[in-house]
Amino acid sequence: MRLKGKVALITGASRGIGHSMAKLFAQEGSKEAINFLKSEKEALDLAEEIRKQGGEAIAIKADVSNLNDIKKMIQTTMAEFGTIDILVNNAGIILSATFLDCTDEIWDKTMDVNLKGAFLCSREVAPIMLEKKRGKIINISSASGLTERSAVGNTPYAVSKAGLIGLTRSLAVNLGPYVNVNAICPGLTETDMAASLKPERRRKPIEESIVKRIGKPKEIAHAALFLASDESDFITAEIMTVAGGRAIR
């Protein structure tokens, strides 16, 4: 029960990594605000599953690139649980495009969801954490934001995830000493997003990793659990890579 009594708001939590984090956090005692945009059934089913196991959870529809949606999401969470102790900026999209093929629409949509969304959610939640002088913000970046190889095939995604790393460090400085802000950079992970990639795009990350496989959502969730727990109180502005050793090769 490493998160007993805590309230966690996880964006993009209806599927994939966010889904695994919500389940694991709930098992460790936290109350869950499960954000979704399109996957309503998955989000409602997850909230119901958590409640059947004795936990507390609600599903909230919100577009993280829309400030009004974010404000309503936070208001709903506060009305239900009274506070927010943990924010995980996990919502993200991947619209594959090389630099020369990237349109304005692809660029803007990618930045709005992957980077601006994390900025807006953090800005709206931070005052709640600062008032009680405690909080954890975890940004889900990507190994794509660390290596030049990914930027060749998908410029907007790589840039947005590199931007999340910069945002993480800036937030840590601006919200310290009370709020810990860290980022996780997963490698290719078994999600619907990964399944949509072409075989070549899936094969290369496996070949480039040390462990010769892609990650599992629960492996990213366990890293997030550590950063959300009291065990990481002396850790902030750090970038945790969970990519099977790919980022150093």
Q: Which residues are catalytic?
A: 157
7-241: CATH topology: Rossmann fold (3.40.50)
Cis peptide before 217 (omega within 30 of 0): no
pLDDT of residue 150: 60
- Give the 3-state DSSP-derived string for 152-212, with helices as H, strands as E and coil as C: HHCHHHHHHHHHHHHHHHHHHHHHCCCEEEEEEEECCECCHHHHCCCHHHHHHHHHHCCCC
The whole-model pTM stands at 0.95
Mean pLDDT, the chain cut into blocks of 10 residues (249 residues total): 97 97 98 97 98 98 98 98 98 92 97 98 98 98 80 85 97 98 94 73 81 93 98 98 79
Q: Is 225 exposed, middle or buried (0-12, 13-18, 19+ CB in 10 A)?
A: buried
Question: At 149, phi and psi to the nearest 5?
Answer: -60, -40
pLDDT of residue 200: 74
* Bridge partner list, 59: 34
pLDDT of residue 201: 72
Give the span between the Cα atoms of 140 and 46, in whole angstroms. Answer: 20
Angle at 16 between CA 12 and CA 17, to 5 degrees: 75
pLDDT of residue 247: 66
